[in-house]
């Protein structure tokens, strides 16, 4: 199993990264330090996670200790929805770079295709509880993202939570300079995304799978929701390999040639999640896991269901 996938830019992206969504300030720094010590070289961040400053401190500490060099790390961040206006993109990227204490990002993604009203509030809501959209077009946002590459602030650009029609719009954009290198999407056995993965691969776009464990710590979880980590069928596959369910759920996307970014702040689990290069799921394990698809989403961004660019009304 290769430890990297090569982006169309030629950059090598480590197939396993540390996710930092919902990693609390006070814990995320320690998580990043443990991860780097264990061998992680890819850290997935975002402005909206509100913890980039602490992530940056942890990275700096490891660079100072000479545990890693900057060029050995692959750092990803994401442009939040309130910064889609072309004039706001560079400032948003600079803020992330300043918090992370870096001169460049390896990859910068548009976090969602949906633009929100600009301002202090990350989720500006109207009186009915719906997000207030901006009148931006993500093609203009993309042009501003391309300028970040030209300026050297980011090495590669991509998207997240875009459906194939939205990616197609970018690929067909007049005067396109750089196509998306990555589409980061929710992906696990209950949401296998086969059509979207196949589409991205056909266009030379690498796919990153987020919430590979089904994001059990999501704030809106309901008791009746399905739980990947408790699925007896997946436990049986894990037992057969002498591995944990989490390790099987991390290995599964890797064998589909996807990048995967499990989140943890628990040192033992951060280490356990990295022990996935020493076993292989059989092709029948893989087909079995793919057959559990039920199009169940952790991240449906329901407050944006009426947004013109809401991504999940299309089939894929």
| Contacts for 169-175: CB closer than 8 Å, 24+ residues apart | 169/138, 169/139, 170/138, 170/139, 170/142, 171/203, 173/139, 173/142
Catalytic, out of 49, 83, 190, 199: 49
Kindly report the backbone phi and psi dihedral angles of residue 189, in degrees, each rounded to the nearest multiple of 5, phi listed first: -60, -20
Residues 176, 44: Cα–Cα separation, whole Å: 26
Using CA atoms, how far residue 147 sits from 76, 113, 282, in Å, is 17, 18, 44
Query: Residue 83 has what DSSP assignment?
Result: G
> Are the CB atoms for 42 and 55 separated by under 8 Å?
no
> Are the CB atoms for 187 and 209 separated by under 8 Å?
yes
Q: How many CB atoms lie within 10 A of CB 2?
A: 11
**Quick one: residue 198, left, alpha or beta (phi over 0 = left, psi -120 to 50 = alpha)?**
alpha
49 part of the active site: yes
Q: Which residues pair with 116 in a beta bridge?
A: 133
Q: Of the candidates 51, 55, 155, which has an alpha carbon nearest to the alpha carbon of residue 107?
A: 155
Catalytic residues: 49
């Amino acid at each position: 199993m290769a430890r990297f996938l090569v982006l169309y830019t030629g950059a090598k992206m480590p197939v396993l990264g540390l996710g930092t969504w919902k990693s609390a300030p006070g814990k995320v720094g320690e998580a990043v330090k443990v991860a780097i010590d264990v061998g992680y070289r890819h850290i997935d961040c975002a402005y909206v996670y509100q913890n980039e400053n602490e992530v940056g401190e942890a990275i700096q500490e490891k660079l100072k200790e000479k545990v890693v060099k900057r060029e050995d790390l692959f750092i990803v961040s994401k442009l939040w929805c309130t910064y889609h206006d072309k004039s706001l993109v560079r400032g948003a990227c600079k803020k992330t770079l300043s918090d992370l204490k870096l001169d460049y990002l390896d990859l910068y993604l548009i976090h969602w295709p949906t633009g929100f009203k600009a301002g202090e509030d990350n989720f500006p809501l109207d009186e009915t509880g719906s997000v207030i959209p901006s009148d931006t077009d993500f093609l203009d946002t993309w042009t501003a993202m391309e300028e970040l590459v030209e300026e050297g602030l980011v090495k590669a650009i991509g998207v997240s939570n875009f459906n194939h029609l939205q990616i197609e719009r970018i690929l067909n954009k007049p005067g396109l300079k750089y196509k998306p290198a990555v589409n980061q999407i929710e992906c696990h056995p209950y949401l296998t995304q086969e059509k979207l993965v196949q589409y991205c691969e056909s266009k030379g776009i690498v796919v990153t799978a987020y919430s590979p464990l089904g994001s059990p710590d999501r704030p809106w979880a309901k008791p009746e929701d399905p739980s990947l980590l408790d699925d007896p069928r997946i436990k049986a596959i894990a037992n057969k390999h002498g591995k944990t369910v989490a390790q099987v759920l991390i290995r599964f996307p890797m064998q589909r040639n996807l990048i995967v970014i499990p989140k943890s702040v628990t040192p033992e689990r951060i280490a356990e999640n990295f022990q996935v290069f020493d076993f292989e799921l059989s092709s029948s394990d893989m087909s079995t896991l793919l057959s559990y698809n039920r199009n169940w989403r952790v991240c449906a961004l329901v407050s944006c269901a009426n947004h013109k660019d809401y991504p999940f009304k299309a089939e894929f």
